[in-house]
């Protein structure tokens, strides 16, 4: 059986917060370490996803903005969508 090396992380925590974490971990059937690692990882992933950055050259960005400013061109799929009855029974 292969084991993965784990580093140690020491933190200072107020007793009331530790107790809160212990109670929540117990409800999920986990120990404090596993509960905290899962919660920290989930928060880290969410934070990074929310902060995703898309980079573009100044020229590409200017082109992107120009296209956003252009009025939409009529097309058959758009026209068909606009002619459809809405799910709640009212036409657009």
**Where does residue 39 rank: exposed (0-12), middle (13-18), buried (19+ CB within 10 A)?**
middle
* 55 in any annotated domain: yes
Which domain, by its residues, includes 45? 15-68
Per the CB < 8 A criterion, the answer to whether 21 and 32 are in contact is yes
Residue 19 lies in a domain: yes
Count how many domains the chain has: 1
85, part of any domain: no
Indicate the pTM of the whole model.
0.54
User: Quick check: is 92 in a domain?
Assistant: no
Mean pLDDT by 10 residues, the chain (92 residues): 83 97 98 97 92 87 95 88 82 52
| Contact predicate 22/32, CB 8 Å | yes
Strand partners, 42: none
């Amino acid at each position: 059986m292969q084991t993965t090396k784990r580093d140690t992380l020491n933190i200072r925590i107020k007793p009331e917060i530790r107790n809160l974490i212990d109670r929540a971990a117990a409800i999920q059937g986990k120990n404090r370490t596993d509960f905290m690692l899962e919660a920290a990882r989930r928060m880290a992933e969410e934070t990074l996803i929310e902060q995703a950055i898309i980079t573009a050259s100044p020229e590409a960005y200017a082109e992107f903005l120009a296209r956003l400013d252009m009025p939409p061109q009529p097309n058959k799929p758009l026209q068909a969508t606009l002619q459809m009855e809405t799910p709640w029974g009212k036409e657009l």
